[in-house]
Amino acid sequence: MAEELSFSPHSERITCIYTDKEYLYTGSRDRTIKIWDKNTFQDIATLRGHRHFIVRICSDDTNIYSGSADSKIKIWDKNTFQEKASIEEENPIDSIYIDQNNIYCASHDSNFRVLNKNTFQEIKKFKAHCDTLFVDNDNIFTLSVRGVVVWNKKYKKVAMIKEKGSFLDGVFFSGIYADEDNLYLGFSPTGILRVYERSKYKKTKSIEKHASKITDIYGDEKYIYSASMDKTVIVWDKKTLELKATLSGHTDTISDVCTDDINIYTASWDNTIKIWNKKSLDI
pLDDT value of position 128: 76
Q: What's the residue count for the chain? A: 283
- The rounded distance, in Å, linking the Cα atoms of 51 and 94 is 15
Q: What is the pLDDT of residue 102?
A: 96
What CATH number is associated with residue 187?
A: 2.130.10.10
Q: Is residue 175 part of a domain?
A: yes
Number of neighbouring beta carbons within 10 Å of residue 23:
18
Mode of pairing for the β-strands spanning 243-248 and 254-259: unpaired
pLDDT tens, 24-57? 999 999 999 999 999 999 999 999 999 999 999 9
H-assigned helices in the chain: none
User: Residue 281: enclosing H or E segment and its boundaries?
Assistant: none
Return the DSSP state at 12: S
Q: Tell me whether residue 123 is in a domain.
A: yes
d(CA 144, CA 179) in angstroms, rounded, equals: 19
For residue 45, what are the domain limits?
Answer: 12-209
Cite the DSSP H helix spans in 147-254.
none
Distance CA 42, CA 56 (A): 21
Instruction: For residue 35, tell me if it sits in a domain.
Output: yes
Do 133 and 106 form a contact (C-beta atoms < 8 A)? yes
- pLDDT value of residue 2: 67
71 within a domain of the structure (yes/no): yes
145: left (phi over 0), alpha (psi -120 to 50) or beta: alpha
How confident is the prediction for the chain on average, in pLDDT? 91
pLDDT score for 164 = 66
Please list, residue by residue across 170-185, b when 16 or more beta carbons sit within 10 angstroms of its beta carbon and e when fewer do.
eebbbbbbbeeebbbb
Residue 80 lies in a domain: yes
User: What is the residue type of 209?
Assistant: K
**Is 241 among the domain residues?**
no
Domains held by the chain: number? 1
Q: With respect to residue 139, please indicate whether it lies within any of the assigned structural domains.
A: yes
Would the CA dihedral through 38, 43, 46, 51 be positive or negative?
A: positive
Measure the CA–CA gap between 58 and 67, rounded to whole angstroms: 9
pLDDT values of the chain reduced to their tens digit, one per residue, 283 residues:
667 888 888 999 999 999 999 999 999 999 999 999 999 999 999 999 999 999 999 999 999 999 999 999 999 999 999 999 999 988 899 999 999 999 999 888 778 899 999 999 999 988 777 778 899 999 999 988 778 999 999 999 999 998 765 544 445 778 899 999 999 999 877 789 999 999 999 999 999 999 999 999 999 999 999 999 999 999 999 999 999 999 999 999 999 999 999 999 999 999 999 999 998 886 5
Distance of alpha carbon 192 from alpha carbon 209, whole angstroms: 7
Helices (H) and strands (E) in the chain, counts: 0, 28
Q: Does 145 fall in a domain?
A: yes
